[in-house]
């Protein structure tokens, strides 16, 4: 390797899978330095994101709810997802929140509730974030956002908590403009959180969070002044909230419940008038209302694993499994297919050209009844590289 040009070495190594690269750091001190080289980290990441997306699955079944699996695609016959069991961080119980540049944001549950951990499941390094000391006792339920500030190269965690909404009565005031919130932010590696003050919107649950153009995005519930839900962004650089113009299809009697990233563009999921057909609208030019285009329409479908056994139940299955009730859009594949999740129990590829559905086979150690899927780029993001800078 010493006789090869450095650029060629980095190009060769960037084509290797992440587990192989991580293992190679044990060869020698020179290899350890090379594998941690930021030029290799960046080159490897760029190659990873060029391929079909990979993802993390958290099992929600007892007693394996703290288990994570890694999934990717294989071209052996029928499309199949091969899953790899991952080493776990030292958290007793946790909830998988989001992923950014190969790093997972995990939140402790039950006895460790309030603990937030940033973890790379392949390099196995992690950091526990400092807890908020002065948290109002009535602020219990809210959303977390995690992303990279491209200006400072610092990862940040944003927490929005709502006053008067508890875990026992979480959505009583969901559409009320009287909801009070408090917003905190932490730069990963900093010793304490900062209070950004109050914010007058109530965001939907964590699934609605996406990161586009260096901004975190959420859907907010309607209130007494505006009868439609809205897309709100939080700029990780200037730490300001801003309303993002939504598609013209959104009205008081037709809402959208989910936002995703498709081909790097902010996208919104809506439904037709009878809630039977899912529509995906894509914002081709960020923050330009006129650039919203309806790109996909997806009808009702029942994955095999969810199909009822009883004939009488099957008569109502298409209504029961209507898109609004069970479907979540995950991403676009290089083939043009759309990856969908159904009721946290099935993963399906929809072909928009042939208008067909294909159930994906999941290979687990046992078949879980319920799981959560988060898109994840398996790469060499070394946490101490940005914590100690």
Burial of 37: CB neighbours in 10 Å, binned 0-12, 13-18, 19+: middle
Residue of higher predicted confidence among 369 and 359? 359
Report pLDDT for 387: 72
Mean pLDDT of 323-349: 87
Compute the mean pLDDT over every residue in the chain, rounded to the nearest whole number.
81
Residue of higher predicted confidence among 311 and 265? 265
Q: Measure the CA angle with vertex 97, ends 332 and 196; round to 5°.
A: 110
Q: How confident is the model at residue 292 (pLDDT cuts 50, 70, 90)?
A: very high
Tell me the CA distances in angstroms from 140 to 97, 121, 127, 144, 157, one per residue in order: 16, 28, 23, 12, 17
From the CB of residue 203, how many other CB atoms can be counted at a distance below 10 Å?
22
Q: How confident is the model at residue 169 (pLDDT cuts 50, 70, 90)?
A: very low
Torsion (CA) 36, 39, 41, 46 in degrees, nearest 10: -170
Beta bridge partners of 265: 262
Residue of higher predicted confidence among 254 and 320? 254
Can you give the pTM of this predicted structure?
0.87
Report pLDDT for 302: 87
Angle, in degrees to the nearest 10, between helices 6-13 and 38-50: 40
Strands 126-128 and 116-119: antiparallel
Q: Name the token pair of 259.
A: 């936002």
Range picked from 171-180, 252-261, 291-300 for highest mean pLDDT: 291-300
3-state secondary structure of 158: strand
Mean pLDDT of 151-180: 67
What percent of the chain stands above pLDDT 90?
Answer: 32
**Residue 168: pLDDT above 60?**
no
């Amino acid at each position: 390797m010493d006789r090869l040009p450095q650029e060629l070495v980095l190009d060769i190594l960037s084509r290797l899978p992440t587990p192989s690269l991580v293992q190679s750091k044990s060869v020698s001190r020179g290899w350890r330095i090379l594998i941690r080289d930021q030029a290799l980290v960046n080159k490897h990441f760029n190659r990873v994101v060029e391929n079909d997306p990979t993802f993390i699955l958290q099992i929600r079944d007892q007693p394996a709810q703290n288990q994570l699996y890694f999934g990717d695609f294989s071209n052996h016959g029928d499309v199949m997802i091969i899953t790899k069991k991952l080493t776990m961080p030292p958290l007793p119980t946790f909830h998988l929140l989001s992923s950014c540049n190969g790093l997972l944001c995990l939140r402790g549950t039950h006895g460790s509730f309030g603990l937030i951990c940033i973890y790379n499941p392949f390099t196995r390094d992690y950091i526990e974030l400092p807890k908020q000391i002065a948290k109002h006792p009535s602020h219990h339920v809210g959303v977390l956002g995690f992303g990279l500030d491209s200006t400072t190269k610092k990862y940040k965690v944003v927490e929005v908590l709502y006053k008067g909404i508890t875990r026992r009565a979480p959505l009583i005031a969901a559409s009320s403009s009287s909801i009070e919130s408090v917003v905190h932010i932490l730069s990963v590696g900093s010793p304490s959180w900062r209070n950004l003050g109050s914010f007058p919107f109530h965001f939907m649950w964590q699934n609605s969070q996406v990161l586009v153009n260096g901004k975190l995005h959420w859907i907010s519930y309607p209130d007494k002044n505006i009868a439609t839900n809205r897309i709100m962004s939080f700029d990780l650089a200037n730490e300001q909230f801003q309303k993002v113009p939504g598609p013209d299809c959104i009205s008081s009697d037709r809402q959208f419940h989910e936002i995703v990233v498709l081909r790097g563009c902010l996208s919104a999921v809506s439904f037709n008038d009878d809630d039977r057909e899912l529509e995906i609208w894509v914002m081709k030019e960020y923050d330009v209302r006129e650039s919203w285009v309806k790109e996909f329409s997806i009808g009702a479908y029942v994955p095999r694993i969810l199909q009822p056994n009883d004939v009488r139940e099957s008569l109502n299955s298409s209504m029961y499994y209507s898109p609004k009730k069970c479907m979540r859009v995950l991403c676009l594949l290089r083939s043009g297919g759309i990856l969908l999740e159904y009721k946290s129990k099935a993963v399906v590829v929809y072909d928009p050209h042939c208008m067909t559905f294909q159930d994906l086979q999941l290979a687990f150690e046992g078949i879980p009844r319920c799981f959560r899927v988060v898109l994840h780029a398996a790469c060499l993001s070394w946490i101490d590289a940005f914590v100690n800078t």
